[in-house]
Chains A and B, each alone.
Chain A
Amino acid sequence: MATTSKDRPSPAAGLPVQTQDTAALLRELVAHLRQNRTQLREEWARRITRAQLLTAMTEAEIFAEATSVYDNYVEALETGTFEALQAYSRNLSERIIPRGVETHEVVGIVLLLRDVLARSLFAKYHEDFDKLNRILDAYEPAANRIANTVAVGFVQERERIIRQQQEAIRELSTPVLQVRERLLILPIIGVIDPQRARQLTEQLLRAIRTNRAKVVVIDITGVAAMDSNVANHLVQTVEASRLLGATVIVTGLSPEIAQTLVTIGVDLSEMATVGDLQGGIEEAERLLGYKVLPLEELAPKG
């Protein structure tokens, strides 16, 4: 902290480079904002509506949110601490993101508030230009930091939701299906990255346990490309399944993948492979002792 020069004797608590002078100015500013609370937040809500921001919300809602944002804003200015504001902006984002509020709207309303407040300061101090300057010097950094906090909170919340949804998509994308007693099918579609391979294996192992599976058919018809990493994941999955007492049959290796695997020299000798899913299921049924017959052959003769 720059506190060595004479005119800045000691830092006040809160904002990084705050002198007693700015602290006093901020106090005055906060008092001004408190005094004109009703009028300023009405003005702000009006500006929001006029700028056609937050169209997903009703006017009453905008006004209610504007009030709490305003109060939190003033509090952050007063105390110089941003935790409460951070928590509030996360909470607010959580509520408004599902309603389709966009990043530019959130940034927009915070900048509008900044504008509204700055204008009121101009109006109040326009006769004392020097004072206005000093007030703005105190106000600007704090206001910028507040805007930053709110916008970052919003974006972080959005990213959290995106991550959550990615996770959900991942889980949906690897269903483990039981087609017969003790026979599971795992159709893999799309790209296998290490994370997905890991999750896939975990899911399969759990399914083997709960369904008491003896045979698993992994169908990779939907896997476009395979490199040595993916192949090794596959081998690991097969081995882990075997440790749980289940036999794995891999089906649907395309000609390209077959060529790649042989060319890069992945050892798949431990793996049972069958051309297509149908063949794989037939092989699995044979291992389990099933035999599927047409109905005529089962009907009593004569």
Chain B
Amino acid sequence: MEVPILKQGQYLIASIQSALTDADLSQLREALIERVGRFRARGVIVDVTALDVMDSFAVRTLRDIAHMARLRGAETVIVGIQPEVAFAMVQLGLTLKGVATALDLEEGLAFLDDVARERVERGQGPIDRGPGHRDRA
């Protein structure tokens, strides 16, 4: 099943609706990384609220997405990990090191806004210039 990827301002939102096969996950990874460039996204949110189990391949794919998106200039945040899933993950040693996480979509958006604001403060250029505007940086 293909995961829908929505564009919201400068962010891409991938909302996983059901259990995914490894092929689906790889497909999601490729689609997201490709679209980060196409839409000039500064942030990616992957919503896993609907997942009640997460295996090592899924965790690795999520981590890969985060690292690859960062190389393409977008910060990634994984949102909606269920308490039981989180517990199972740490017991299996799958801890998503170096990947941002947030409670839900709302928190994820707030996190990305914070990151964008910090970038501005660090002098890395303004971020919100409206849709369609070409960034010189």
Decide if A240 touches B103 in the complex (CB within 8 Å).
no
Taken residue by residue from 186 to 228, chain A's Cβ proximity to chain B (1 for < 8 Å, 0 otherwise) reads as 0000000000001001100110110010100000000000000
- CB within 8 A of B90: which of A206, A209, A212, A243? A243
Decide if B83 touches A202 in the complex (CB within 8 Å).
yes
Alpha-carbon gap, A217 to B108, bound state (A): 22
Task: Take A242-B101, A243-B96, A243-B101 as given contacts and tell me if A205 and B91 are in contact as well, using a CB distance cutoff of 8 Å.
Answer: no
Taken residue by residue from 13 to 51, chain B's Cβ proximity to chain A (1 for < 8 Å, 0 otherwise) reads as 000000000000000000000000000000000000000
Alpha-carbon gap, A239 to B101, bound state (A): 11
- A residues bordering B, Cβ < 8 Å? 198, 201-202, 205-206, 208-209, 212, 214, 236-237, 239-246
Q: Chain B interface secondary structure, helix, strand, loop or mixed?
A: helix
Task: Take A208-B103, A212-B103 as given contacts and tell me if A243 and B81 are in contact as well, using a CB distance cutoff of 8 Å.
Answer: yes
- CB within 8 A of A205: which of B78, B79, B86, B102? B86
Residue of chain B at shortest CB distance from A238: B90
Shortest distance between the CB of B87 and any CB in chain A (Å): 5
A sample of 25 cross-chain residue pairs with beta-carbon separation below 8 angstroms, ordered by A number, consists of: A201-B87, A202-B83, A205-B83, A209-B83, A209-B103, A212-B103, A212-B107, A214-B107, A236-B90, A236-B91, A237-B90, A239-B90, A239-B95, A240-B86, A240-B87, A240-B90, A241-B86, A243-B85, A243-B89, A243-B90, A243-B96, A244-B81, A244-B86, A245-B101, A245-B108
Q: Chain A interface secondary structure, helix, strand, loop or mixed?
A: helix
- CB within 8 A of A244: which of B83, B91, B95, B111? B83
Residue of chain A at shortest CB distance from B91: A236
Shortest distance between the CB of B104 and any CB in chain A (Å): 8
Shortest distance between the CB of A269 and any CB in chain B (Å): 12
Chain A residues near B84 (CB, 8 Å)?
Answer: 202, 205
Alpha-carbon gap, A244 to B79, bound state (A): 7
In the complex, the 6 A-B pairs of residues with the closest C-beta atoms, listed nearest first: A205-B83, A245-B102, A243-B86, A240-B86, A245-B103, A236-B90
Alpha-carbon gap, A241 to B101, bound state (A): 10
Decide if B103 touches A246 in the complex (CB within 8 Å).
yes
Alpha-carbon gap, A165 to B108, bound state (A): 41
Chain B residues near A214 (CB, 8 Å)?
Answer: 103, 107
Decide if B79 touches A243 in the complex (CB within 8 Å).
no
Chain B residues near A240 (CB, 8 Å)?
Answer: 83, 86-87, 89-90
